[in-house]
Chains A and B, each alone.
Chain A
C-alpha cells in the first residue's frame, strides 16, 4: 500500500517521457560505414539496420519453381479418406446382427492373446456394469461402408436387451473412433456428455504409442466413463456432479426419470418394507389379542361393613331418564327420600 504513490508517479513519468521521446535517426555516414562493416565491426542485430538480408547474396541464382500441377479437389478429398472400406466378406459378421461376444474382430486384427485379453476385459466390465460395452475393431486405414449407418445398426440390433455402448474403434487411429449408445441410454445421456466420454477416452488413447496400448487405454477410460453414465441413469446426480454435466433433458424426461428412481427405490426396499409392515401388523394383532384376553385384578383390602350390610354398601349414582330436554347431569338424582315424599 505504501508503494502505490511511487508506482503511480513512475507510471506517469514513463508515459510523459514516452510521449516526448523520439526514435534515434541514423546518420548517413555512420549507416554507410556500418553497412560496409568499417565502423564498429560486427554487433548483434546489425542485419536489422540494413536494408537487405545479409545472408542473401543478390548474385546467388534463385531456383525456379517446379512445374508441378496443383492437386485436384478429388485428390485432396481422397487423401483424407482411408484407403479402403471394410472387406465385404466381413460385413455380415460386423453389421448383420447383434454380436454374440463383446469383441467384434472378424478380421483378426488383434492377435489371439490380445483379443482374449480385450474380451476378458469387456466381460469383466459387463459383470460390473449394467451397460454392456461392444467393441468393433477395424483397421486404421479402413472405413465403414457407406451402406451401413451406425444409428440404424443401433436401432436394429440394440433396441432391446441390456443397454449397450457400441464403439467402432480403428486400430492406430483412435481419433476416428465412433461411439453409439443404445436408445435406453441415449434418451438419458445428453449428446454433449457422450462426446465428452468419447473425447476423454480418445485423448488417453492417443497418449500411448502402440496400437494395442492405445486400445487398452481407450477401453479402460471408456469403461470408467460408462460407469458414470450408469450412475447418471440411476439418478445419482449428486454423486457425479463433479464429473458429469447436467442432463439436457426436458421436464417430461425428468419426470420419467423421477418415476424410474422411485420405482427403483421401491423395488430395492420393498422386501424390507414389507417385512417391517408385516412385523408391525403382527405386533398390533398380538397386542390386541393380549388386550382382549388380559384379565384385570384388584388388590383386596379389608373393609369394615357399613349400615349392617355384609357384602355391599357402595351406593353409586342414580340418574333419571324421564326428560329428553335435560342433560344427564340435570337429571342426576341427589335428593333425599323425605324431599321426594314431600
Chain B
C-alpha cells in the first residue's frame, strides 16, 4: 500500500500519508470536491477511435460478466504530470459515479485504468475489495502487456490487452482464494494491538492452558 503522491509505503488504515500527509482532501482540492458522473469508458483525451470503442466495450463487458463483484473502467485524459495520474485515479474511484455500472457494484470493486495522453503514461487504481488480491506487481504486468501497443499509438489494442491480462491474474487469484482464503484474509487483517503479542504468548503458554482447563 502506497501513497498516491509520494509513492511511499503506508500502513493499513492510515488516515493520511505519514510521509507527506496526503489524503483524499488533497486530491479533492486538486480535482474537485463534488462527486462526478462518468461512464466506465471515458475517452476525454480522444485516444480511441469511434470504430474501436466496441472492442474495448466488449472486453470490459466480458470482464464484468466473468467477475460479477467487480467492474473495470477506462479513463483517458490530460492530468498534467505522472504524479497527478495516481492521485486522479484515487480521486475518481472515490468521487466518481459510473452511470453504466449497476448499483450493486460499488466502487470498492472497481479497477480504473487511466491513461495520460500528455505525459504518455498509464496507471491502474483499484478498490478496497481487491486490496487482498491485486498487488502493484500485478498491475505493472498488465501495463507491460499493453506497453508495446501504446508505444505504436494503438491505444485500443493496448487497453484490450491490459484487460485480458487483468482477467488472467484475477482468475488465478480467485482460484487461490477459493482454496486458501485465510492467506488473503491475512493481507488485509486489522493491525494488531500493541499488547497483542505478549497476550498471545501468555494465552498460548502450556501452563496457562493447563490451568484454564482445570
A residues at B contact (CB < 8 Å): 294-322, 324, 328-329, 331-338, 340-341
Contact = CB atoms under 8 A, between A and B. Distances in A.
A311 B108 contact: yes
Contact of B140 (A308, A319, A322, A336): A319
B62 to A, nearest CB: 9
A328 to B, nearest CB: 4
A37 B10 CA distance: 147
A333 B5 contact: no
A316 B129 contact: no
B143 A313 contact: no
Contacts of B203: none
Given A296-B67, A301-B188, A316 B126 contact: yes
Contacts of B20: 336-337
Contacts of A304: 12-13, 190
A336 B137 CA distance: 18
B45 interface: no
In this complex, which of B17, B68, B151 has the most chain A Cβ atoms within 10 angstroms of its Cβ? Answer: B151
A320 B106 contact: no
A321 B7 contact: no
Given A311-B106, A311-B108, A337-B20, 16 more contacts: A295-B66, A296-B175, A299-B184, A301-B132, A301-B188, A305-B13, A307-B10, A307-B17, A308-B15, A308-B23, A313-B128, A316-B140, A317-B139, A324-B151, A328-B140, A329-B144
Contacts of B150: 321
Contacts of A296: 66-67, 170-171, 174-175
A317 to B, nearest CB: 4
Interface in B156-172: 170-171
A307 B129 contact: no
B43 to A, nearest CB: 17
Contacts, number: 190
B144 A328 contact: yes
Contact of A295 (B5, B67, B108, B134): B67
Contacts of A321: 120-122, 147, 150-151
Contact of A340 (B70, B83, B120, B177): B83
B131 interface: yes
Contact of A313 (B1, B81, B139, B144): B1
Contacts of B8: 336
A300 B133 CA distance: 11
A295 to B, nearest CB: 6
A297 B69 contact: yes
B82 A333 contact: yes
15 contacts: A299-B184, A302-B190, A303-B131, A303-B132, A307-B16, A307-B22, A308-B16, A312-B126, A315-B3, A317-B124, A318-B82, A321-B150, A328-B143, A328-B147, A340-B83
A223 B70 CA distance: 79
A315 B82 contact: no
A316 B67 contact: no
A250 to B, nearest CB: 60
Interface in B101-160: 106-108, 110, 112, 119-134, 136-140, 143-144, 147, 150-151
A309 B106 CA distance: 13
A306 B14 contact: yes
Contacts of B110: 311-312
A336 B14 contact: no
A313 B12 CA distance: 10
B181 interface: yes
A315 B119 contact: no
- Which 10 pairs from chain A and chain B are nearest by CB? A316-B139, A316-B124, A317-B140, A308-B24, A304-B13, A311-B107, A312-B93, A337-B83, A318-B123, A296-B174
User: Which of A302, A304, A319 has its CB near the most chain B CB atoms (within 10 A)?
Assistant: A319
A314 B16 contact: no
A316 B123 contact: yes
A306 B106 CA distance: 17
Given A318-B122, A318-B123, A319-B121, A309 B94 contact: yes
B189 to A, nearest CB: 8
B185 interface: yes
Nearest to B12: A304
Interface string B8-43: 101011111100101111000000000000000000
A338 B17 CA distance: 15
Contacts of A303: 12, 128-129, 131-132, 188
A312 B190 CA distance: 17
B83 A298 contact: no
Interface stretch (B49-57, B84-92, B193-201, B206-214): B84-92
A294 B70 CA distance: 15
Contacts of B58: none
A109 to B, nearest CB: 85
B202 interface: no
A318 B151 contact: no
